[in-house]
Amino acid sequence: MKRGMGPVIGAVLLVMLTMVIGTMVFLWAKNTIKTSEEEALKERLCESANFVIGDFCYEDVIIENIETGDSELKRHIKFSGRNEAAEPELDGFMMFIDYDGRTVSISSLMYSEIEGFKSKRITTDFIEDTSGIKQIKVVPKIKKDRNIFICEKQGIEVMWEDVKEC
């Protein structure tokens, strides 16, 4: 004679299965709502960003290589930025360099944060190869509390041939 699972054990397993499924649905919904709220906050902050970027130029610098003693030509890209609003806080910029379809990002433009109603001249690190650059795009980074949002839709694009020597 075969015996099945006892009714108490069956009920316990059913309750446990229900709790696991309920927890999974709750966590999924919570994550979805949080992502939607963050996207809405990003859109609102990015749309309220009021900044001006312009005066793009490049600067050639001759640097001595410490190891070889040879001189090397290096190039910076410079531009001016102005924060036209007190809020949101402009936490700096990112630059995307388009090499004829291949995009390289410079995520950290040092000291590119701009306080409200102030201007700043911003310089990139050295860029090794500028021969194949087609265009550059500069996008703002907005800071809210501890979050930083990259506002790609608000970026400024400049064709490389329009960038002159400083």
- Kindly list the domain boundaries of the chain, sorted by start residue: 49-165
Cα four-point dihedral sign 19, 24, 25, 26 = positive
Q: How far is CA 151 from the centre of its chain?
A: 7
d(CA 153, CA 87): 18
Q: Is the pTM of this model over 0.75?
A: no
Position of tokens 């699972």?
5
d(CA 159, CA 98): 9
pLDDT of the chain along its 166 residues, tens only?
566 678 888 889 999 999 999 999 999 988 888 788 888 889 999 998 899 999 999 999 998 988 999 998 899 999 999 999 888 788 999 999 999 889 999 876 878 899 889 999 999 988 878 889 999 999 999 988 888 899 999 999 999 999 999 9
Count of residues for the chain? 166
Question: CB neighbours of 105 closer than 8 A, spacing ≥ 6?
Answer: 94, 95, 96, 97
Q: Is 75 helix (H, G, I), strand (E, B) or coil?
A: strand
Q: Domain 49-165 carries which CATH code?
A: 2.60.40
Q: Dig out the tokens for 37 from the structure.
A: 């709220």
Are 141 and 96 in contact by the 8 Å Cβ rule? The answer is no
